[in-house]
Structure 1
C-alpha cells in the first residue's frame, strides 16, 4: 500500500489528508445518515450523495496530484486505491480495471469489499436498489482528477447493499453532469473571516481524574487503517476515516432541499411522518414544520452515532485498558469519552458545565460541521452543529438514563429504552461557530414529553 500521510493539528483537533479535513465515523452513522437522505422522496437524494462524494474526492486528489507532479497515471490510480482502503471504505481495483479497459469509452468496475455496501446490507428489509453512492462518487472524482476529462457513471443492480457478492458500477467517459468539478473550489470569504476558524482552545474548565492529554497521546499512537479488505473493524463497529465535507455537503443540501420542498408544499410534513418512523415520536413535543423537521432528522442520526460509536468505545477492551484505570466516578465516564472524541477530528470538545443526572453543557472549538458550512455556504442564520447535539444527548442517556457502566448490550431495543423514555435527555444549541461565535455550545437537559 502506498503511504498515506494524515496531518493532525493538535491545537484545533482537525486532521487533514491532501488538504481535506477527515473525521472518524462508524457504519451505523454512515448508514443512518444516508438512509435519512434517501428516504425523502421529495428531494434529489441520489444527486446529493453522489455529487458530494465526487466533489470531496476530486478536490483532495487534485491537490495531491498538484503536490506530486511526478506521478504517472498508474501511480495516481494506485494512490487513490490506497487512500480508499486506508480510510476504511473498502477496495477499488482502479489500476487493474483501467488497464483492462484501455481504449474503451465505457467499462464496468466491480468490488467485493465496500464499507457502504456492507453497512447498508444491515437493513432489516432488503433494499430495492443499490446504495453504494459514495463508492460511485469517489470513482468519478478520482478518474476526473487523474485524467482531466469528465466521466459519469451509475450503479447496477449487482450490489453488496442488495446482498449480492459484489458491487458493480458502469462508468462512461464524457457527459456534462460532473464537468463543473473542474471549476470547483471551496472556501468562502465568511470562512476566512469567521472568528471561530482561528479561535484558540482553552484548557479544560471542569476538572476530573481523567488525564485527557495522556488519552490523546495514547490513542494517537494507534493506527486505524484499512485491513486487507480495506475495512477498519474497531470498538465493535466498522470505522471510516471519512471526508468531513462529505457529511457536511450531504447534510446541509438535504436540509436546504427539504426545507424548500416543505415551503412549497406544507402538507408534506404529515406524509414524511410515515417515511420516518422516528418522527412519530418527536412530533409529540417538537413543531415539525420547515427547518425544524430536517434538523430533527439530522440530530436523530447524531443520537444513533452517539449510542453506537461512543457506547461501543465505552464497552471496548481498549477502554478497559487505557481509560478505566483513570475513572473514579460516573462523571469520569463523560470526561473519558470526551477525551476520546477529541482524537476523532471533530474539533476540540470541552465540558463547560456538568450537573450529575441533570445537565451537561458542551462547548466545541473548531467543530467540523460549522467549519464545513462556512467553507461551502458562508454564514449560517441558524445553529447547524447537528452531530454535536445528537452525540451530546446520547452521552447523557448512556451514562444516566441508561447505565453504560454495567456494559449493556447496545441493541436497538436498548436504544429505544434510553433515548425514547419519558425522561431522556435532549440537546439545544445556544452558540454556533457558523453563526459567528467563537465556539459552538449545546446544553443537554432532561425534557419532559407532552
Structure 2
C-alpha cells in the first residue's frame, strides 16, 4: 500500500493519519535530544522523549488502521516498517513482534547515525539514543493489535551509536499507564489562501519544495537524503510535547531559572537549525536550478524566499509583512507548534514562540552575513553563531496570550 502524506494547503503542513508532519533536519533532531539529555538525572528522559513519541504514533496508526478494516496483523507490521523508512528514520524490522511484545531491530538508524556524526561513538556504558524509536514502536504496536495507549512499554538493548551491529528494542506489556492523548491538529487557525502579486514567487518556492516528494523509501537505508544531508518527516507535535513537558517540570526539577534554561535550549537550537537548514538548502543545486531565478537580490526578497522554505517544510504559512534594514515583521499563520501548545495548555501569560523566534533570529543573521560556505557542518554553524552580533526578536502578538495573530518583530542592529 502506497504511503501518501498529504500537504494540506489550508493548513500549510503535511499530515498522515490525522497527525501533522513537518520536514526536520538531522541537526535539530539530535541537538535537541542532546540538550535534553544534558539535563541529567533531574529529568525522566523516558517520560519526556519516549512517551511523547508513543502517544503520537498510537494516534496516527489507530486512525489509519480504523479505515483499513481488512489489513492483517502482518500487513499492518509491514506498513509500519515502510512508514518508518518513508519518514527517514531508518530500516526497521518488526518480525520479532507479537501481541505479547518481542523485539524489533534497526539495521540503519537515523538518530544513531546523526549522533555518531556530531558527537562520535557513544560509550558502551551509556544507554542508546533511540528514545523516539522506542516510543514510536510502543504506540504503533498498540495500534496494530488494537489495544489501549499505554499498554506496551519498552527499552533499548543495542544501539548502532555505540558501535553495535544494529539497534534493538525490547517491547513488552507493562503495568498499564494512562497516557494523555496526542494534541493532533490542535487549535487551528484559518489560512487565507489568496495569493497577492508579491506572493506569486513565494508560492512557486513552496510548490517546488513540495514537488520534491522526499521519502526514505528511495534509499536502501530508509533515510531521506536531500540537500547533502538527511532529514525526517517528523511529527510536528513531538518537540512541542517535549518542550511543554520540560516547562511544566522546570521549576520543580531544575530549580530557579529552570524555565529560562528550557527557553534557551529551544531558542538556541532553532537558531542553529536555521544556519544548518538554510545553509544546506540555499547552497544546493536544487536552489540554484529551481529557485534562485525567482528571487531578487534585495534583502526582503531573500527573506520571503527563506520564509517560503519553512512554509514548504510544513511549519504553517510564514510571511514577511514589513522589512527594512533594521526591522523585519513576520506573521506565522497556523503554526503547528502553537496549535499544539494551545491544545495542551491553553492560553499562557507569556508567549512560547521560542522555536519560531530562534529560527527567525538565525534567518536574519544568515541574510545579513550572506555566507558562501564550502561545507555546511557543525563548524559552519558555530561560526555563524559567533558572527551574529546584535540580532534579537520580540513577539508583538501571540495566540498563546490571547491574540488572534502570531506576529514577530526581528531587530537587526
Q: TM-score, normalization: structure 2?
A: 0.90
Of 385, 389, 392 in structure 2, the residue corresponding to residue 426 of structure 1 is: 392
1:363 maps onto 2:331 in alignment? yes
Q: Distance in 2 between matches of 1:412 and 1:330?
A: 28
Cα deviation code 1:115-137 (max 9, x no counterpart): 11111222335433211111111
Q: Distance in 1 between matches of 2:193 and 2:71?
A: 42
Q: Distance in 1 between matches of 2:228 and 2:392?
A: 26
1:392 maps onto 2:360 in alignment? yes
1:184 maps onto 2:157 in alignment? no
Q: Once structures 1 and 2 are overlaid, which stretch shifts more, 162-171 or 74-83?
A: 162-171
The residue number in structure 2 matching 1:64 is 64
From the superposition, tell whether residues 426 and 410 of structure 1 become closer, same or farther in structure 2 (CA, over 3 Å). farther
From the superposition, tell whether residues 202 and 152 of structure 1 become closer, same or farther in structure 2 (CA, over 3 Å). closer
Contact 1:206 1:352 in 2 (8 A): no
The residue number in structure 2 matching 1:139 is 137
Q: 2:393 aligns to what SS in structure 1?
A: strand
For 1:199-218, list aligned pairs within 5 A: 199-201=190-192, 207=198, 211-218=201-208
Instruction: Return the offset for 1:408.
Output: 4.8
Q: Distance in 2 between matches of 1:327 and 1:214?
A: 10
From the superposition, tell whether residues 410 and 123 of structure 1 become closer, same or farther in structure 2 (CA, over 3 Å). closer
For 1:146-165, list aligned pairs within 5 A: 146-149=144-147, 150-156=151-157, 158-165=158-165
The residue number in structure 1 matching 2:263 is 295
From the superposition, tell whether residues 123 and 327 of structure 1 become closer, same or farther in structure 2 (CA, over 3 Å). closer
1:333 maps onto 2:331 in alignment? no
Contact 2:189 2:333 in 1 (8 A): no
The residue number in structure 2 matching 1:403 is 370
Q: TM-score, normalization: structure 1?
A: 0.83
Q: Distance in 1 between matches of 2:193 and 2:324?
A: 21
Q: Distance in 1 between matches of 2:355 and 2:388?
A: 22
Q: 2:403 aligns to what SS in structure 1?
A: coil
Q: 1:169 aligns to what SS in structure 2?
A: strand
Cα deviation code 1:351-403 (max 9, x no counterpart): 022113x2222110001110011222222332112221111111111111x22
Contact 2:101 2:152 in 1 (8 A): no
Q: 1:153 aligns to what SS in structure 2?
A: strand
The residue number in structure 2 matching 1:374 is 342
Q: CA RMSD in A?
A: 2.3
1:239 maps onto 2:234 in alignment? no
Instruction: Return the offset for 1:427.
Output: 2.1
Of 203, 220, 227 in structure 2, the residue corresponding to residue 228 of structure 1 is: 220
Q: 1:112 aligns to what SS in structure 2?
A: strand
Cα deviation code 1:298-328 (max 9, x no counterpart): 1111012111112210010100001111233
From the superposition, tell whether residues 185 and 33 of structure 1 become closer, same or farther in structure 2 (CA, over 3 Å). closer
Contact 2:89 2:232 in 1 (8 A): yes
Q: 1:15 aligns to what SS in structure 2?
A: strand
Q: 1:12 aligns to what SS in structure 2?
A: coil
Instruction: Return the offset for 1:19.
Output: 0.2
Contiguous gaps of at least 5 residues in structure 2: none
The count of corresponding residues between Structure 1 and Structure 2 is 403
1:129 maps onto 2:127 in alignment? yes
